[in-house]
Structure 1
Amino acid sequence: MFDIGFTELMIIAIVGLVVIGPERLPKVARTVGHMLGRLQRYVGDVKSDIQREMHLEDLKKLQKEMTDSARDLENGLRTQAASVKADLDDTAKAVGGAAAGVAAENSIAAPADDALAALKDAERAIAQTVADDIAASQAPPPRDDNQLDLGLDAEASATPPKKESKA
């Protein structure tokens, strides 16, 4: 990173020895090492927080896009249903008869209402799937079940082992 060679390190060590003194030099070097370690951990934590926030932001953006596309689909289907209903109403009126008009309106209204209900159910399912994906991304990692069970849990330690009796 800094392109420091062995000779530069030796010069720095000699200057440090002269300026700080041989008694305090190990203590100062240890303190500097601890501070550098803390700095590296802090930088790593900040990087992981930033990455987590970016991932969360991407998931929120995806959820918004899915909700918008579901809304667009719902609006498109409603317009289609309204235009089909209007066409069928016009056709029913053209065929004539009040009874035929009433029967056609009832037969059209039920499928249109069923289509709108199915559309709302699909929108809820999409929103739930996106919410589940976001929740799954924030869940803790799964437990590793490949570990050997030693039976050291609380229940096993509470009950004493049974002694075999000779009969």
Structure 2
Amino acid sequence: MFDIGFLELLILGVVGLLVLGPERLPKAARTVGLWVGKIKRSVSSMQREISSQLEAEELRQKLKEQQSKLDESLDRAKRDVESIAKPYSTSTPSRHANEKAEPDSPAGEQPPPQAAARLDDALANARQPDERPADERSTPPDDDKKDAASR
């Protein structure tokens, strides 16, 4: 901050001793020290507050970027699923009723009757991620626990 050397401090001490006298100089030095300490604490607290505000703003900006990326990928997935489901959802209901009666229709043309419902479920699941922890989602239920409980 300020570049004050030993010579400058010595000159200040001598001038202070001459102006204030030996009785009031220690009290004045203590008061000046307290004021300098308060100023330093105020400046450091303002610096900490400013840096925390900057960090919070950076986090908000990163969160917005991540949210926009997530929304973009969700929209892309939704468009992909809808483009796949579009040929199936435009079929007439009478076609589904006759589907079992017409075994000669090509397999790739029509989905099973529940395909539209499954696609809607898949879209709903893509919008609302599973709330359970990842380890609970990936592990199958323990049959051993069921067997132990039934004994």
TM-score scaled by length of structure 1: 0.59
Distance of 1:97 and 1:4 partners within structure 2: 93
Sort the Cα spacing of 1:21 and 1:80 in 2 relative to 1 into closer, same or farther, 3 A. Answer: same
Query: Does structure 1 residue 111 correspond to structure 2 residue 109?
Result: no
Percent identity over the alignment? Answer: 35
Describe the shift of the 1:28–1:99 C-alpha distance in structure 2 as closer, same or farther (beyond 3 A).
same
User: Does residue 87 of structure 2 align to residue 87 of structure 1?
Assistant: yes
2:70 match: secondary structure: helix
Shift of 1:105: 7.7
CA offsets 1:79-98 (integer angstroms, 9 cap, x no match) = 112211123456x57xx946
C-alpha contact 2:89 2:116 (8 A) present in aligned 1: no
Equivalent residue pairs, number: 120
CA RMSD of aligned residues (A): 2.7
- Cα pair 1:17 1:25 within 8 Å, conserved: yes
Residue 32 (structure 1) shift: 0.5
Q: Structure 2 stretches of 5 or more lacking a match?
A: 100-109, 132-151
**C-alpha distance 66-6 of structure 1, shift in aligned 2 (>3 A):** closer
Paired residue for 1:73?
Answer: 73
Please identify the structure whose Cα radius of gyration is greater. 2
Q: Give how far 1:99 is off.
A: 2.9
1:48 is matched with 48
Matched letter for residue 116 of structure 1: L
Deviating above 6 A after TM superposition, structure 1's stretches of 4 or more consecutive aligned residues are none
Q: Give the TM-score of the pair, scaled to structure 2.
A: 0.65
